[in-house]
Amino acid sequence: MPTYDFIIIGAGSAGCVLANRLSANGRHKVLLLEAGGHDLNLWIWMPIGYGKTFYNSRVNWMYQTEPDAGTDGRRSYWPRGKVLGGSSAINAMVYIRGHASDFDGWENLGNPGWGWQDVLPYFKKSETNDLGGDALRGGQGPLHVSTMERDLHPLCDTFIQAGTQSGLPRNADFNGQTNEGFGLYQNTVRDGLRMSAARAYLRPARKRKNLQVETHALATRILFEGKKAIGIEYQQHGKRIQAFTSSDVILSAGAINSPQLLQLSGIGHAKHLSTLDIPIVHDAPGVGQNLQDHLCIDYLYRSRVPTLNNQLSPWWGKLLHGMRYVLTRRGPLSLGVNQAGAFIRSRDGLEKANMQLFFSPVSYTKAPPGKRPLMNPDPFPGFLLSAQPTRPTSRGHLEIRSSDPFEAPAIHPNYLSTRHDVDEMMEGAAFLRKLAAAPALAEVIEAELAPGPHIRSPEDLLADIRQRSGTVFHPAGTCRMGPDAGADVVDHRLRVHGIDGLRVVDVSIFPTLTTGNTNAPAIMVGEKASDLILEDNQGT
């Protein structure tokens, strides 16, 4: 049976980092398993192509949640990457680290070494910012982060102007000294091509003889001797294969698949696992709990001036910009649609921003559920203003339905289940209308199409939020890091409580959601975890 120093489950944002860093010294033999396939796909590499990959089962798990009371009994569509690069290969590429207080909060919850000053070096280590490195930004890392200003739609400036007219500052760098204000988003893009974790970290490491990458390899259970993880069993092309480790099995399968695999392997709430006839290895009630996600509300406007709709809706527009992209890697196909945004305080008395805004100079009102056909937008000029509270207090959970590793788990988001979250969504919606009324935007708005000007009362506004709000695709927290072995899943060195030789390294370890998009923090976790693991294996 093959034996490795480290076995990594999942070639996503953190898993690709681990594969690179743990194999870099040439001494450690590393196996990386990915349930999906290769990332040689036009729609992955073309930045705007994520509108296609969002609904492509070849690269996407395409999860559906259970009906959720907070959103009028609707199911939410949760795309998650099933491909080299994981969700970094199909996301919207917005690069946001989060607020310093997010990480200080993690440390204050009993996780030493995870405060802002501890994690900042790992953010910098991971990054090459196209504006250069400084005290806060990296300049020599594998992950290229680009300023997209040269190809952005001119309405982005209109959006920012409306923000300043509303009394808020312009912000040149959301990852700089402060995140507050209106500005342009940076993307994980280089030379007009998506910079996924696979491109940044895995591709440079693939030629190393001590790194073995297996695709279409679905991990089905962790192997144990007593309470020590000794290997993994996986299925590949219809065959059942086992691999063993002399050190660590590392789960980097994400907020859904990492807790799923733990439960399938007998680590979870014993009462639930026993109903599925799964042998209990360790009673860990926290596995699959603490599920958090960012929820967003969009307001749709018909524009008096051209938007991306005018460029990408007609066939000749698709052809023209397709040819431009092929020849120059420039134009609207070279970036995502969340082009500008803001971090704001939605009410007085707050010490920091609690709301993230997105501006998209495009609209798609007839999209199928869960699908965003970004290159087939509405036939009229339109744009979207969106608001997302950054620190939701609602908590959901997920659990496996059976012992079948091919069956998706039951996901219960429990959206809008606290008064705090309801109030903040209402505040976000109110601010969007205030912003739309600012002179710069009011001048270009012909009509509010959704929810529509007739939706005015608090009751109607809340009903609209429950009917139309949707995920921003940031699930996290399901293998929470913390010191309580009875409620938390991993300790501050990301070792699973009660089990030797097993770690979790991905967004599932987040004690709380970070302020904004989660891909940059996921990569940071991979960087920091690599050092922790190598420290614990010195001399091996």
Q: Could you give the residue numbers annotated as active site?
A: 474
Neighbour-count burial for 69-80, b at 16+ CB within 10 Å, e otherwise: ebbeebbbbbbb
Evaluate whether 465 touches 290 at the Cβ level (below 8 Å): no
* Strands 181-184, 340-344: pairing kind: antiparallel
Evaluate whether 262 touches 480 at the Cβ level (below 8 Å): no
Q: Which amino acid is at 73?
A: G
Nearest Cα neighbor of 142 from 539, 460, 526, 531 is 526
Nearest Cα neighbor of 183 from 52, 418, 357 is 357
d(CA 164, CA 491): 44
Count the Cβ atoms, other than its own, within 10 Å of residue 304.
Answer: 11
Enclosing H/E stretch for 243: strand 239-251
The full DSSP string for 55-84 is T-TTTB--EEPPPBGGGTTBPPEE--B-BT
Nearest Cα neighbor of 56 from 74, 77, 76, 75 is 77
d(CA 329, CA 321): 10
Q: Which amino acid is at 91?
A: N
Count the Cβ atoms, other than its own, within 10 Å of residue 410.
Answer: 14
Neighbour-count burial for 512-539, b at 16+ CB within 10 Å, e otherwise: bbbbbbbbbbbbbbbbbbbebbbeebee
Q: Which amino acid is at 26?
A: G
Q: Distance of CA 294 to CAs 393, 471, 493, 512, Å? A: 10, 6, 26, 11
Per DSSP, 200 falls in state: I
Q: Which amino acid is at 78?
A: W
